[in-house]
Amino acid sequence: MSTAKFGHVALIGRPNAGKSTLLNALTGEHVAIVTHKPQTTRQRIVGLVTEARGQIAFVDTPGLHRRKPHALNRRLNRTAGAAMRGVDGVVLVVDATRWTDEDELAGELFQNCDGIRLLALNKIDLLPDRARLLELTAELSKRLAVDTVVYLSALKGDGIGQLLDELFARLPRGEAQYPADEFTDRSARFLAAELVREQLMLQLHQEIPYGLTVVIERFEAEGARLLINALILVSEERHKGMVIGRQGSVLKRVGSRARRAMAELFGQAVHLELHVKTRQGWTDDERLLDELGFSD
């Protein structure tokens, strides 16, 4: 009988804790988008780690948050909650520099999860004070029923090996459920849309990025290159000009950076075209959210 392990492991935590950075460090690919802004991740995404000792399907989730003015916000929390059900383990990702109200919310959900409970104290590169870290560890391991703790800098890749060791040691035996050469369960179209959204979130200010979504209208191979057309939907007419920028400068920058990221991820040359349209109020319209692919 094979001794290989398999399991689904959810990454949960408040917005900005570093879950998606961790998913990318684990898979070695730019599979999830990362920005300094909270609520970057909107949908569940699986990142795969396949080794001789087994396979782990890590499930990245939207950050758990307390503000809920729109249907989209509520759906983010629901998506994160749903991703936690039926998994073999949960990693609570905590920004070790700051414990907030939203960490408290994530901690409550974590405590109620079945399976392996791993506490990951992240961003330790920003916290040289070991005493503070040990204090936090002692307090949280007592309060949340934690099986094990790891210290990470997801940004620098520190502690990744240890996190994998702790999980592989505790996961049940099982056959890999995904092909060994794949790194995600998401389609190339989804990844392409996300890479455009990542650049929009990085280039735009304040509230505009939260009212944006990206739909891929064309995704075709032409010889050795990919032809991709992406439609950017904004929720208010006045945001359209800001997305385009003076003489198209913002859109040009977004396009060239997203195109580069796509070429690297897909290992292929990419021709990318971007268009912008207004779809009033899409963030608060349950039917439109379904249509745009926001499922739990």
Interacting residue ranges for Mg ion, rule: CB under 5 A: 19-20, 40-41
Choose the contact partner of 122 out of ligand GTP, Mg ion, none; CB within 5 to 8 A by kind. Answer: ligand GTP
Neighbours of 69 (CB within 10 A): 9
Residue with smaller CB distance to ligand GTP, 20 or 199: 20
| DSSP letter (8 states) at residue 67 | -
Residue with smaller CB distance to ligand GTP, 128 or 223: 128
Three-class secondary structure of residue 255 per DSSP:
helix
Choose the contact partner of 21 out of Mg ion, ligand GTP, none; CB within 5 to 8 A by kind. Answer: ligand GTP
CB of 18 vs Mg ion, minimal distance in Å: 8
Residue with smaller CB distance to ligand GTP, 33 or 216: 33
Residue 12's nearest CA partner among 98, 166, 149, 117 is 117
In the chain, beta strands by DSSP E? 5-12, 45-51, 54-60, 89-95, 116-122, 148-151, 212-222, 225-234, 269-278
Neighbours of 156 (CB within 10 A): 13
What is the rounded distance in angstroms from the CA atom of residue 215 to the CA atom of residue 213? 7
Residues of the shown chain interacting with ligand GTP in the complex, contacts defined by CB under 6 A: 13, 15-21, 34-36, 38-41, 62-63, 122-123, 125-126, 153-155
Choose the contact partner of 62 out of Mg ion, ligand GTP, none; CB within 5 to 8 A by kind. Answer: ligand GTP
Choose the contact partner of 38 out of ligand GTP, Mg ion, none; CB within 5 to 8 A by kind. Answer: ligand GTP
Residue with smaller CB distance to ligand GTP, 153 or 184: 153
